[in-house]
Amino acid sequence: MERKYTLANVNILIKTDFDFTETERYEPFRSDFDLPDLTYEFITMDELPPIPERPLFYDGMITVSRENDITYRFYTYSKKKARALMSDERIDEGVLTVYVLEEQLPSLKTELRVFDHLAIEHAMALFQGTLLHSSFISYGDKAILFTAPSQTGKSTQAELWRRFKGAEVINGDRSLLKIDDGVLTAFSLPYCGTSGICLNYSAPVQAIVVLRQAPFNRITPLRPAAAFRDLYEGCATNIWYSDDSKTICDIIEHAITAVPVLLLECLPDGGAVETLAHALGI
């Protein structure tokens, strides 16, 4: 079967030799086009190659290796056995191949699970974008992004802006940053963590706000070195792809010179909203 999607102006075709059911959150991103920018081909196999003994990278979820200039991403979820394998052997043709262990097909019956195997952070980097762990709100036709580690209050601050300022929450957990005609632009993706909020929308970035919990509300402009560090830590990086790392660094360098990057030490209350709004002059 074939399904088409447009994510951050990138046309993506997913081809599988198995069926999967649609999930509501992906409906706004489904699309139609003649030629894809990137194609994923899912192929089922009785057995996958063994996981290498000395991988480039391992984090408990994926294991990455490289051989003859081909990069292999094993979806391991344990070191004992791979469930799926992505290969960039055909990337020059605009194709990423995902080999799926046949016995794992029952876990790939929905769009949600198929999208879990797209390595979307790498796919977007191929088109000069980077994923930032952030809540994305739209206010006055511009994007304000709240970034911080999980459980710090990104979704809380986004909801406070909705309640007190009438902002629209676009995505509760992820945004895709690209430089579009020289303008730092945020795009939503159908990845949103537990928030469940992911509208198909893009807007120029007005500010990026780094959150810290505190017993007070205070905002401080971040110096370039600190801003670069905090934004880099919030980006989804594939360190084994040097081009991906360069893309991330280029976008962050542009961001810290093009828009305010602010540290908001805050409480989960309306005072935090007013503190930030005052700093932004809105």
| Mean pLDDT of the region 184-203 | 92
The percentage of the chain sitting over the pLDDT mark of 70, rounded to a whole number, equals 99
Q: How confident is the model at residue 155 (pLDDT cuts 50, 70, 90)?
A: very high
| Mean pLDDT of the region 166-177 | 96
Which of 25 and 10 is assigned the larger pLDDT? Answer: 10
Range of the domain at 64: 2-118
Q: 265 and 145 in one domain?
A: yes
pLDDT at 104: 87
Whether the Cβ atoms of residue 60 and residue 49 lie closer than 8 Å to each other: no
Asked if pLDDT for residue 158 goes beyond 90, the answer is: yes
Q: 239 and 180 in one domain?
A: yes
| Mean pLDDT of the region 146-159 | 90
Please give the tally of structural domains in the chain.
2
pLDDT at 145: 98
User: Is residue 124 one of the residues assigned to a domain?
Assistant: no
Q: 48 and 185 in one domain?
A: no
Asked if pLDDT for residue 79 goes beyond 70, the answer is: no
Domain boundary pick from 118, 152, 176:
118
Q: 157 and 99 in one domain?
A: no
pLDDT tens, residue by residue, 206-260: 999 999 999 999 999 999 999 999 999 999 989 999 999 999 999 999 999 999 9
Q: 239 and 133 in one domain?
A: yes
Domain boundary pick from 118, 143, 162:
118
pLDDT tens, residue by residue, 255-272: 999 999 999 999 999 999
Q: How confident is the model at residue 194 (pLDDT cuts 50, 70, 90)?
A: confident
Which of 7 and 61 is assigned the larger pLDDT? Answer: 7
Q: 155 and 45 in one domain?
A: no
pLDDT at 279: 97
Q: How confident is the model at residue 78 (pLDDT cuts 50, 70, 90)?
A: low
User: Is residue 123 one of the residues assigned to a domain?
Assistant: no
pLDDT at 151: 79
Whether the Cβ atoms of residue 214 and residue 267 lie closer than 8 Å to each other: yes
Average pLDDT of the chain is 94
Q: 275 and 207 in one domain?
A: yes
pLDDT tens, residue by residue, 21-70: 998 889 999 999 999 999 999 999 999 988 888 899 988 889 999 999 99
Q: 204 and 148 in one domain?
A: yes
Q: 252 and 138 in one domain?
A: yes
Across the strands, what pairs with 11? 6
Q: 270 and 151 in one domain?
A: yes
User: Is residue 105 one of the residues assigned to a domain?
Assistant: yes
